[in-house]
Structure 1
Amino acid sequence: MTGTVVVTGTDTGVGKTVFSAALAVALGARYWKPVQSGLEDGGDAAAVAALGVPADRVLPEAYRLATPCSPHRAAELDGVEIDVKRLTPPVAPGPLVVEGAGGALVPVTRRILYADLFERWGHPVVMVARTELGTINHSLLTLEALHARRVPVLGVAFVGDPNEDSEATIAALGGAKRLGRLPRLGRLAPKVLHAAFADHFRIGDFR
Structure 2
Amino acid sequence: MKRYFVTGIDTDAGKTIASAILVEKLKADYWKPIQAGEPTDSDSIRSLVSPDRIIHPEGIVLKAPMSPHAAAKLEDIDLRANQLSVPETENNLIIEGAGGLLVPINDEEFVINLAKQFDVEAILVSRNYLGSINHTMLSIAYLKQNGFKVAGIIFNDTPNPETERFILQYSQLPCLGRIGQLTEVTPATIQSQLKNIDL
Mark yes or no: TM-score above 0.5.
yes
Do the aligned partners of 2:30 and 2:54 also contact (CA within 8 Å) in 1?
A: yes
**TM-score normalised per structure 2:** 0.95
Task: Describe the superposition over 1:161-202 as per-residue Cα deviations: whole angstroms up to 9, x where unpaired.
Answer: 11001011111212311122101112211112211232x122
Task: Give the structure 1 partner of residue 8 of structure 2.
Answer: 9
Which runs of structure 2 are paired with 1:1-207 in the superposition (5 Å)?
A: 2-39=1-38, 41=39, 43-54=40-51, 57-198=54-195, 200-202=196-198, 205=199
Going by fraction, where is helix more abundant, 1 or 2?
1
- CA distance, structure 2, for counterparts of residue 140 and residue 8 of structure 1: 14
Percent identity of equivalent pairs: 33
Do the aligned partners of 2:24 and 2:194 also contact (CA within 8 Å) in 1?
A: no
- CA distance, structure 1, for counterparts of residue 176 and residue 17 of structure 2: 16
Do the aligned partners of 2:97 and 2:112 also contact (CA within 8 Å) in 1?
A: no
3-state SS of the aligned residue for 1:126? strand
Q: 1:98 to 1:104 in 2, by over 3 A?
A: same
Deviation at 1:59, TM superposition (A): 0.5
* Aligned-partner residue type, residue 168 of structure 1: R
**TM-score normalised per structure 1:** 0.91
* Aligned-partner residue type, residue 23 of structure 1: L
Q: Where do 5+ consecutive residues of structure 2 fail to align?
A: none
Do the aligned partners of 1:49 and 1:55 also contact (CA within 8 Å) in 2?
A: no
Deviation at 1:85, TM superposition (A): 2.0
3-state SS of the aligned residue for 1:137? helix
Of 111-120 and 30-39, the range deviating more from structure 2: 111-120
Do the aligned partners of 1:155 and 1:178 also contact (CA within 8 Å) in 2?
A: yes
- CA distance, structure 1, for counterparts of residue 111 and residue 146 of structure 2: 11
Size of the aligned set, in residue pairs, is 199
Deviation at 1:14, TM superposition (A): 1.2
- CA distance, structure 1, for counterparts of residue 71 and residue 169 of structure 2: 36
